[in-house]
Amino acid sequence: MSSGRRVTALLLSLLSVFALVSCATREQPASSPAPPQAAFPVTLSAPDGKQVVIERQPSRIVSLSPTATEVLFAIGAGKQVAAVDDQSTYPAEAPRTQLSGFKPNVEAITQQNPDLVVVAADLNDVVGGLAAVKIPVLLLPTAKTLDDAYAQWTLLGKATGQITQADDVVRKARDDIKRVVDATPAKPLKYYHELGPDLFSATSATFIGRVYALFGLQNVADPADTPAAGGFPQLGEQALFQANPDLIFLSDTKCCAQTVETVRARPQWSTLTAVQRNNIVALDDDIASRWGPRIVTLVEQVSAAVKRAAA
């Protein structure tokens, strides 16, 4: 597994708040609850416990987190985004640049004249460097649970002033995921989630592992985890064969050009139950490694695979 891929598996995020003033109309009874109001300056509590002060509604946001980029556009803050990093591949209209979230350069970031920067990790002391030049930074690390992800989306809504839109995105994702999970039979099927053909995987302790757990699936990578691996161990081929997963999910289709056909062609893999029963699922690497609103698409893919394997 390449160092870039390993960092990608552990990264992603966003931030900021806005001012809306509403008045009751004759069509809206005075007793109706008023929509959430956004006002600046605003003080936000970041996931790391630090307080972030945003003086005015951001209009030049720089996102160095692919997940944060997706969320910003999903909650209606796309027009406030001035630049995104080179890994922010979605949506297509995001203003992609050569900025790096893996090796952030404070000087290059400041050249974008940002009034808010969102990062997924404090690499190269980017948070301290930007703080020194009075640029607010929102650090949104890899979510560990769906609730963590929802909290980050809500925080970005407050940071950008898109409170109502962010709440709507969270509500819809919650409802959609519940609907899909409720309609899927819980089966104790074993699965293998592949991060790379070198057999790096993700355990039940990771965000993606908790998504699979919604369906009662058993992760064959769990016994291989160690404190050093941090939820992303490298499996031995013999151990994988002994575990004999019922399902194989490939999240290395873009990075490593893996397909159902390449898996079938691997020596001795034809002995695995998942291969014999055609239960190999090719995922979109980006969706499977981020915790933005497109997580619903991943949940739907897992549901379809479980239903097929359980039939």
**Same structural domain for residues 172 and 191?**
no
- How many Å apart are CA 97 and CA 82, to the nearest integer? 10
What is the band of 29 on the pLDDT scale with cuts at 50, 70, 90?
A: very low
Report how many domains make up the chain.
Answer: 2
Q: How far apart (Å, rounded) are the C-alpha atoms in residues 302 and 191?
A: 11
Q: Which two three-digit tokens encode residue 178?
A: 């519940």
Domain final position from 151, 177, 203: 177
d(CA 132, CA 154): 27
User: Can you spell out the DSSP letters for 196-254?
Assistant: STT-BB--TTSHHHHHHHTTT-EETTGGG--TTTTT-PBPPHHHHHHH--SEEEE--TT
Tally of CB atoms within 10 A around 276: 12
Encode pLDDT of 182-211 as tens digits.
999 988 899 999 999 999 999 999 999 999
Question: Which of these ranges, 86-95, 181-190, 245-254, has the smallest mean pLDDT?
Answer: 181-190
Out of 148, 177, 206, pick the residue that ends a domain: 177
Q: Are residue 68 and residue 153 in the same domain, yes or no?
A: yes
11 pLDDT higher than 50: no
240 and 111 both lie in a single domain: no
- Range(s) of the domain holding residue 77: 3-19+34-177
What's the pTM value of the predicted model, to 2 decimals?
0.85
Instruction: Please state the length of the chain.
Output: 311
- The pLDDT of residue 189: 96
* pLDDT digit string, tens, across residues 97-133: 999 999 999 999 999 999 999 999 999 999 999 999 9
Residue type at 215 in one-letter notation:
F
CATH of the domain at 213: 3.40.50.1980
pLDDT in tens, 255-284: 999 999 999 999 999 999 999 999 999 999
Of 145, 177, 209, at which residue does a domain stop? 177
pLDDT tens for 163-181 read 999 999 999 999 999 999 9
Q: Is residue 230 in a domain?
A: yes
Look at 3 and 196; give whichever has higher pLDDT. 196
